[in-house]
């Protein structure tokens, strides 16, 4: 699949030089674009294809009282994007539009993400879009400028890796557990330099949104991009969306997309297998997404780890996280819960969390916020009454944005606070200086909010079903 | 972009694996709309405590490493986000070269766009550099991109690998947007072909 998309987009390939690759879709947000637009201005260049460029604001946006950005530098960044979009003729989904949201939630939702496309954004989680069988990857600001100016990128051809999920996903195991489990087993750099294709029955049976959760965290394994071959699930998701082909054209597109499927016996540079039959819900304990374990497990004892570097890293992480070696994961009390982000801020995530929360109350020691991934997700959740379930249970119901995934807006952990988070990175300080992040699925996060500590959501007593 | 040809400079160590971009430049400093001035925030939360006091144990705060231009660190350096603010901060602080056993892709790529040379050496070679830096105050390395070597005054000489295109790119300080635009005809032809095919 990768090979086909790559070959379809290479414009110039010269021996010993990176290829010039055409880019079909360029997504832009406020944090990584100001210097790129400024670069264009300084060199007197234009945006070559404003029709293939779409912008939104997400990182700095407050989730309460969103039009009032108190931090003047945040406000300047948001205003700069508005100004640049206007000046360069780029379509912007700003705070006044229902489509505004985390860039990787918004793109698929609008039907901008198609199988076979090359998609870039100045954001590492662009890998999310690979769930549709697109080649999607994050780029730096210099490359943002490059794509704005030329609609192309210079790229050396990456290697390919198949990550084969073997077995059947057990009940109660989420897409988040699949990807967290994979990274806990193989580490945060096993896929560096590779484009990963996820295969296997456990992947095929995932919904479109679940596939996005898996591909989203490809970058946490170091991968250049993560992809899943398109199938009926993909086509059904796209049908009827604003920027998807319409009518007969859609059917023609589906024929084209079907041809992207990986050929039987296609060769990958590397193959990795991951057993899902015995997978249990995952929780991270450290300051790197690979530092994770089973909810039935415990905080590791650094001295027992195999290499000196691992021992040092684990000891430093435990010190930062304020955890004692050997503590069972289910005995770690939490202060905060964040449900949202481009990993787990879509409607299915909110449904799953709501079904856990329904009929319960958030533990009095816990502050819990739910941040929909986009304005549309928020609207849909409200139509389904999910907001009421959350509010009744004591969660705060917020406006769309990145929020506490990286805490560039006012949603920030205080030093020492411990958070069960559905986001993708547990780096030191990610959610606020001194803040302690544990990555989990939306179900696990909701259950933790209620219990005040991590619990095994497989044994949760659901008060009643939440239906769509 | 400033070319990189040869550099002799003081070496500073950051002895951690998986140094992520949030550690290199925390998000509260990503709000600026300029490219410059990020050096003061490099490794911010490792350099300053919550009250803004210097953390003396952190290497970059130690007198002996002031003015360093070569940074050595451990595996998977620069993992995490695509923020180019990370190399901007490293460059603005005064580093022109980062040596580690491995780098995250996007960070590695971003370095070249900013005239920073990232060098991959083996774990053993990097271990050795850490030992030499620790043992010799004022320890300097000479990084020669023409010859792809790293040497010191104590007789160490290591050659490193680098993609030839990337090497030329740094040696000449090229503008890659300009290079791509030289292929304007091919790009336009590709767009025309695609439009004719109906997508
Ligand atoms: S939700 Fe988090 S990971 Fe996703 S784009 Fe926003 S900050 Fe990045």
What ipTM was predicted for this assembly? 0.86
| CA A159–ligand 1 middle distance (angstroms) | 26
Position B26 pLDDT exceeds 80: yes
Burial class (CB in 10 A: 0-12, 13-18, 19+), A336: buried
pLDDT exceeding 70 applies to what percent of chain A? 99
- Residues of B numbered 103-162 whose beta carbons fall under 8 angstroms of chain A's beta carbons: which are they? 103-106, 109-110, 113-114
Q: Mark residue A369 as left, alpha or beta (left: phi above 0; alpha: psi -120 to 50; beta: remaining).
A: beta
Q: DSSP assignment, residue B54?
A: B
Position A266 pLDDT exceeds 80: no
Q: At B197, is the pLDDT very low, low, confident or very high (cuts 50, 70, 90)?
A: confident
Average per-residue pLDDT in chain B? 93
- CA quadruple A338, A347, A109, A61: dihedral positive or negative? negative
A199 bridge partner residues: A164
Q: What is the mean pLDDT of residues A207-214?
A: 98
| CA B90–ligand 1 middle distance (angstroms) | 23
Q: Which atom of ligand 1 is nearest to the CA of A128?
A: 4
| CA A342–ligand 1 middle distance (angstroms) | 6
Token representation of residue A381: 């959740």
- pLDDT at site A261: 85
Token representation of residue A408: 């560039």
Provide the residue ranges of all domains of chain B, joining segments of one domain with +: 6-174
Q: Is A208 helix (H, G, I), strand (E, B) or coil?
A: helix
Residues 6+ apart with CB under 8 A from A451: A363
More reliable by pLDDT, A264 or A227? A227
Is the minimum distance from the CB of A57 to ligand 1 under 6 angstroms? Answer: no
Q: How far is B121 from chain A (nearest CA, A)?
A: 16
Tell me the C-alpha distance between A360 and A363, whole Å: 9
- Residue keyed to tokens 């950005």: A69
Token representation of residue A425: 């990175």
A437 bridge partner residues: A419
Residue from A68, A29, A121 nearest A374 by CA: A29
Torsion of CA B101, A193, B76, B9, to 10 degrees: 50
Tell me the C-alpha distance between B61 and A226, whole Å: 39
Alpha carbon A89 to its chain centroid, in Å, reads 28
| CA A184–ligand 1 middle distance (angstroms) | 21
Average per-residue pLDDT in chain A? 94
Question: B33–A38: do the CB atoms touch at under 8 Å?
Answer: yes
C-alpha distance across the termini of chain A, in Å: 34
- pLDDT at site A467: 52
- pLDDT at site A466: 52
| CA B137–ligand 1 middle distance (angstroms) | 42
Question: A429–B22: do the CB atoms touch at under 8 Å?
Answer: yes
Query: Do B61 and B89 touch, CB atoms closer than 8 A?
Result: no
Contact with chain A for residue B50, Cβ under 8 A: yes
Position B30 pLDDT exceeds 90: no
What pLDDT, in 10s, does the model give residues A309-341? 889 999 999 999 999 999 999 999 999 999 999
| Superfamily of B6-174 according to CATH | Aconitase, domain 4 (3.20.19.10)
Substitution target from B1, B16, B18 for chain A, most A beta carbons within 10 A: B18
Residue A378 has a CB neighbour count (10 Å cut-off) of: 24
The nearest alpha carbon in chain B to A148 belongs to B177
Q: In what order do the strands lie in the sheet with A10-12?
A: A10-12, A19-22, A152-155
- Residue keyed to tokens 């009929």: A359
Residue from B30, B22, B105 nearest A139 by CA: B105
Nearest to B83 among A32, A222, A245 (CB): A32
Tell me the C-alpha distance between A30 and A55, whole Å: 8
Burial class (CB in 10 A: 0-12, 13-18, 19+), A383: exposed
Query: Do A150 and B180 touch, CB atoms closer than 8 A?
Result: yes
Tell me the C-alpha distance between A124 and A138, whole Å: 4
The nearest alpha carbon in chain B to A152 belongs to B180
- pLDDT at site A465: 58
Substitution target from B101, B163, B177 for chain A, most A beta carbons within 10 A: B177
Question: B109–A145: do the CB atoms touch at under 8 Å?
Answer: no
Q: At A296, is the pLDDT very low, low, confident or very high (cuts 50, 70, 90)?
A: very high
Question: B82–A122: do the CB atoms touch at under 8 Å?
Answer: yes
pTM across the whole model: 0.92
Nearest to B165 among A18, A38, A76 (CB): A18
What pLDDT, in 10s, does the model give residues A132-170? 999 999 999 999 999 999 999 999 999 999 999 999 999
Residue A364 has a CB neighbour count (10 Å cut-off) of: 7
Q: At B98, is the pLDDT very low, low, confident or very high (cuts 50, 70, 90)?
A: very high
Is the minimum distance from the CB of A405 to ligand 1 under 6 angstroms? Answer: yes
- pLDDT at site B33: 85
What pLDDT, in 10s, does the model give residues A415-452? 999 999 999 999 999 999 999 999 999 999 999 999 99
Q: How far is B119 from chain A (nearest CA, A)?
A: 15
Tell me the C-alpha distance between A360 and A452, whole Å: 12
Alpha carbon B91 to its chain centroid, in Å, reads 7
Q: Is A446 helix (H, G, I), strand (E, B) or coil?
A: helix
Q: How far is A388 from chain B (nearest CA, A)?
A: 33
Q: What are the backbone angles phi and psi of residue A433, rounded to the nearest 5°?
A: -55, 130
Is the minimum distance from the CB of A220 to ligand 1 under 6 angstroms? Answer: no
Substitution target from A427, A431, A433 for chain B, most B beta carbons within 10 A: A427
Is the minimum distance from the CB of A125 to ligand 1 under 6 angstroms? Answer: yes
Q: Which residues of B153-173 are buried (b: 16+ CB within 10 A; e: fewer)?
A: eeeeebebebeebbbebbeee
Q: Mark residue A113 as left, alpha or beta (left: phi above 0; alpha: psi -120 to 50; beta: remaining).
A: beta
pLDDT exceeding 90 applies to what percent of chain A? 89
Position B193 pLDDT exceeds 70: yes
What pLDDT, in 10s, does the model give residues B135-180? 999 999 999 999 999 999 999 999 999 999 999 989 998 888 988 9
Token representation of residue A316: 């430093």
**Protein residue with its CA nearest to atom 6 in ligand 1:** A402
Query: Do A442 and A452 touch, CB atoms closer than 8 A?
Result: no
Query: Do A419 and A354 touch, CB atoms closer than 8 A?
Result: no
What pLDDT, in 10s, does the model give residues A43-69? 899 999 999 999 999 998 988 888 888
Angle at A234 between CA A230 and CA A239, to 5 degrees: 135
Position A11 pLDDT exceeds 70: yes
Specify the range with the lowest mean pLDDT, choosing from A18-32, A231-245, B28-42. B28-42
The nearest alpha carbon in chain B to A218 belongs to B80
pLDDT exceeding 90 applies to what percent of chain B? 80
Alpha carbon A457 to its chain centroid, in Å, reads 22
| CA A371–ligand 1 middle distance (angstroms) | 12
């Amino acid at each position: 699949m990768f090979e086909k998309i790559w070959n379809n987009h290479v414009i110039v390939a010269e021996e010993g030089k990176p290829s010039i690759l055409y880019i079909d879709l360029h997504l832009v947000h406020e944090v990584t674009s100001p210097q790129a637009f400024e670069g264009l201005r300084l060199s007197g260049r234009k945006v070559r294809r404003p029709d293939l460029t779409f912008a939104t604001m997400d990182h700095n946006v407050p989730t309460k009282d969103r039009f009032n950005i108190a931090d003047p530098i945040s406000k300047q960044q948001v205003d700069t994007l508005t100004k640049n979009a206007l000046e360069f003729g780029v379509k912007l989904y700003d705070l006044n539009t229902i489509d505004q949201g985390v860039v990787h939630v918004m793109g698929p939702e609008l039907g901008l993400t198609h199988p076979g496309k090359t998609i870039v954004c100045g954001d590492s989680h662009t890998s999310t879009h690979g769930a549709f069988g697109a080649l999607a990857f994050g780029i730096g600001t210099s490359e943002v400028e490059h794509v704005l100016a030329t609609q192309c990128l210079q790229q050396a051809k990456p290697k390919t890796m198949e990550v084969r999920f073997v077995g059947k996903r057990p009940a109660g195991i989420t897409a988040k557990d699949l990807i967290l489990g994979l990274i806990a087993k193989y580490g945060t750099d096993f896929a560096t330099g590779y484009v990963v294709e996820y295969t296997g029955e456990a992947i095929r049976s995932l919904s479109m949104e679940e596939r996005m959760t898996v591909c989203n965290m490809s970058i946490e394994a170091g991968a250049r991009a993560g992809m899943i071959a398109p199938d009926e699930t993909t086509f059904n998701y796209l049908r009827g969306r604003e920027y998807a082909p319409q009518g007969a054209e859609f059917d023609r597109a589906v024929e084209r997309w079907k041809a992207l499927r990986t050929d039987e016996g296609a060769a990958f540079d590397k193959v990795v297998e991951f057993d899902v039959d015995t997978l249990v819900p995952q929780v991270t304990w450290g300051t790197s997404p690979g530092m994770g374990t089973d909810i039935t497990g415990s905080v590791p004892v650094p001295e027992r780890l195999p290499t000196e570097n691992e021992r040092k890293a684990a000891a430093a992480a435990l010190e930062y996280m304020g955890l004692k070696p050997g503590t069972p994961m289910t005995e770690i009390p939490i202060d905060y819960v964040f449900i949202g982000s481009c990993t787990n801020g879509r409607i299915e995530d909110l449904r799953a969390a709501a079904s856990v929360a329904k009929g319960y109350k958030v533990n009095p020691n816990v502050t819990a916020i739910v941040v929909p991934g986009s304005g549309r997700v928020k609207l849909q959740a409200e139509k389904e009454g999910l907001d009421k379930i959350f509010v009744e249970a004591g969660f705060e119901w917020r406006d769309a944005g990145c929020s506490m995934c990286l805490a560039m807006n006012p949603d920030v952990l205080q030093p020492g606070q411990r958070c069960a988070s559905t986001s993708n990175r547990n780096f030191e300080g990610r959610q606020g200086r001194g803040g302690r992040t544990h990555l989990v699925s939306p179900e696990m996060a909701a259950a933790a909010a209620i219990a005040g500590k991590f619990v095994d959501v497989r044994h949760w007593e659901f008060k009643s079903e939440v239906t769509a | 972009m400033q070319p990189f040809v040869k550099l002799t400079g003081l070496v500073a160590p950051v002895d951690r694996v998986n140094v992520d971009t949030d550690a290199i430049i925390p998000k509260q400093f990503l709000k600026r709309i300029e490219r410059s001035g990020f050096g003061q925030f490099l490794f911010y939360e490792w350099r300053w405590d919550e009250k803004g006091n210097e953390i003396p144990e952190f290497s970059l705060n130690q007198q002996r490493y002031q003015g360093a231009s070569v940074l050595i660190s451990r595996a998977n350096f620069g993992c995490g986000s695509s923020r180019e603010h990370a190399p901007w901060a490293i460059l603005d602080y005064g580093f022109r070269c980062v040596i580690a056993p491995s780098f995250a892709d996007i960070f590695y790529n971003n370095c070249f766009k900013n005239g920073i040379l990232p060098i991959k050496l083996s774990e053993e070679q990097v271990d050795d550099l850490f030992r030499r830096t620790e043992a010799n105050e004022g320890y300097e390395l000479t990084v020669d991109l023409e010859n792809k070597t790293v040497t010191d005054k104590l007789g160490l000489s290591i050659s490193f690998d680098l993609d030839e295109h990337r090497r030329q790119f740094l040696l000449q300080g090229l503008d890659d947007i300009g290079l791509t635009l030289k292929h304007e005809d091919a790009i336009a032809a590709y767009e025309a072909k695609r439009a004719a095919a109906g997508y």
